[in-house]
A and B are shown apart, each in its own frame.
Chain A
């Protein structure tokens, strides 16, 4: 885990809100949605890095930024120490061989009119990564075997609607892996699957890390599952990373009040356990006008005057842990 696979510095994405013509004349600044604000992190080789947060906190936007599907407002993205922030679309196209994506919903991410063979082989065609039809066929069958779609012949000429949810997601993973990428953005890859199948696919993803020497950005809202999947996690709130560190450390002893509340909100599959009740009041404020200072202060139980005025920076608090809070828990 010494060398880094993906590194971002001060990554920011603001979406301008479209206003009418006259509005633009009156007001100087167009309002923006602060989707991601000043995010910095590093993902090591063969590491699964989890990005955890509620919907609308900017975790998917971060994933899209790393894929360069959208252009960041500011900040830098390095892939294997190469700055990819300003690559041209042509250069990026070559890069995409190494950076792939798995989407959340295998019911929507697969074209219903393409056979499984066509779906999995499409990236090869697009990037002209094979010389002959035979080579493509070999690649497809091999990657299907790796993903547990066995025997491949049985699936090759079927269509997505003939497969179950778990099989479809395996097809989506196979499509991402056929070009032998080195980095994958997985956007909630198992949240649409049924419980009995979810853990199977989750285990598959875990096994791929060592087998293909690959690293992941794992985007999820399920902090309980991230405990099983990720080496390190970052907790996002309203476009900001509030806490980051090794998964077990963060979950066992969260420092940020938001992390604590997020953990406390997860139901426990054990009726005899009484979890501590920390139910946050209210809901996530708007990302157009995020609260001043610490963005969490409006819902924080421990908020003081400083939190309203100044924004806490994300600083290292010891052994690989980062925190953006003036009054961390457990540290009086």
Chain B
């Protein structure tokens, strides 16, 4: 069953120098119980795409087109009040980047979770407290830490509190924006384990945003690679990592060092990500691409589907069925 269906989403930011095309014509779908990794370098629009789903945009951000269907309902057509009451947190919740700053410093963590429950559901405080306690148990912190303040907890524990909070209203979809970037490797492994276990236990759908392809390789079953506001390739995790088709994906996949297996040379991409105020015409990757042809500078490559695995790519080098 499809939980989320994003089609041709366009989201631009207005700046003094013009419109920044942060998300340009992005489409993807997410099935129930699936986890989708949204990968790309900083500034490629991955966070903007996710925030558009919740319509949590800064004032200068505007959605210019497309549809975001969540369980059949177009989120872009909902009123702000309805969205806040019915969808946000209750149906779709988020785990924000940097748990250190996402918690209120002078409120006990338990109360913060209780607040997120009572704000959305009509339950008594007693019942909310019971639920908050079981949530803290669920993420492995233990109900005994209900009355702690955030500064009494370590980074990994704070991140788990945030995870508990995101699950407070039994959402169908959780959007996690770089949930582990601020954490050390060992703590990162702990937090990811909690997230993976919960996803299976609760049959959650999840969107994981990260620049770290190694992390996504282990946690997601589908991956979408973004470059300069567009999704250039998406497919099953195995096929993205084993048979990447887009030149950018090929480079990116091999740019990460591996601790096991033979020591392969790390690839790098010359140049730097484009300015989204004036993105390169046609294929946005052509100035950095080793295989760029004449057509890449003139015509934007359409998204084509390859094979039975639901693998799609936007590159002139690849021919496949058009959607």
Asked whether A164 is an interface residue with its Cβ less than 8 Å from the other chain, the reply is: yes
CB distance from B19 to the nearest CB of A (A): 21
Asked whether A199 is an interface residue with its Cβ less than 8 Å from the other chain, the reply is: yes
**C-alpha gap A261/B189 in the complex (Å):** 10
Question: Which among A16-24, A61-69, A88-96, A219-227 touches the partner chain?
Answer: A219-227
Q: How large is the interface on A (under 10, 10 to 19, 20 to 34, 35 or more residues)?
A: 35 or more
**C-alpha gap A198/B192 in the complex (Å):** 24
Contact B212 A203 (CB under 8 A): no
Interface residue from B218, B255, B266, B268 paired with A268 (Cβ < 8 Å): B218
Contact A224 B259 (CB under 8 A): yes
Contact A271 B266 (CB under 8 A): no
Chain B, 241-280, CB within 8 A of any chain A CB: 241-242, 251-253, 255-261, 263, 266-270, 272-273
Q: Mark A179-197, 1 if CB is under 8 A from B, else 0.
A: 0000000000000001111
Interface residue from A198, A228, A268, A272 paired with B242 (Cβ < 8 Å): A272
Contact A164 B257 (CB under 8 A): no
CB distance from B236 to the nearest CB of A (A): 9
**C-alpha gap A196/B248 in the complex (Å):** 9
Contact B270 A200 (CB under 8 A): yes
Asked whether A124 is an interface residue with its Cβ less than 8 Å from the other chain, the reply is: no
Asked whether A166 is an interface residue with its Cβ less than 8 Å from the other chain, the reply is: yes
Interface residue from B189, B193, B214, B270 paired with A269 (Cβ < 8 Å): B214
Q: Mark B84-114, 1 if CB is under 8 A from A, else 0.
A: 0000000000000000000000000000000
Asked whether A270 is an interface residue with its Cβ less than 8 Å from the other chain, the reply is: yes
Given contacts A262-B186, A269-B217, A271-B218, A195 and B256 within 8 Å (CB-CB): yes
Asked whether A273 is an interface residue with its Cβ less than 8 Å from the other chain, the reply is: yes
Chain B residue at minimal CB-CB distance from A278: B189
Asked whether B238 is an interface residue with its Cβ less than 8 Å from the other chain, the reply is: yes
CB distance from B235 to the nearest CB of A (A): 11
Chain A residue at minimal CB-CB distance from B272: A164
**C-alpha gap A195/B260 in the complex (Å):** 19
**C-alpha gap A283/B186 in the complex (Å):** 9
Asked whether A36 is an interface residue with its Cβ less than 8 Å from the other chain, the reply is: no
Contact A195 B255 (CB under 8 A): yes
A residues in contact with B266, CB < 8 Å: 199, 202-203, 228
B residues in contact with A164, CB < 8 Å: 272-273
Asked whether B156 is an interface residue with its Cβ less than 8 Å from the other chain, the reply is: yes
Contact B257 A267 (CB under 8 A): no
Please name 14 pairs of A and B residues whose Cβ atoms are closer than 8 Å in the assembled complex, sorted by A.
A54-B184, A165-B272, A194-B211, A194-B273, A196-B273, A197-B268, A200-B268, A200-B270, A227-B257, A248-B263, A261-B186, A265-B186, A268-B258, A272-B242
Chain B positions near chain A (C-beta within 8 angstroms):
41-42, 154, 156, 184-190, 192-193, 211-215, 217-218, 237-238, 241-242, 251-253, 255-261, 263, 266-270, 272-273
Closest 3 CB pairs of A and B: A200-B268, A199-B266, A164-B272
Chain A positions near chain B (C-beta within 8 angstroms):
54-55, 164-167, 194-200, 202-203, 221-225, 227-228, 248, 251, 261-273, 275, 277, 279-280, 283
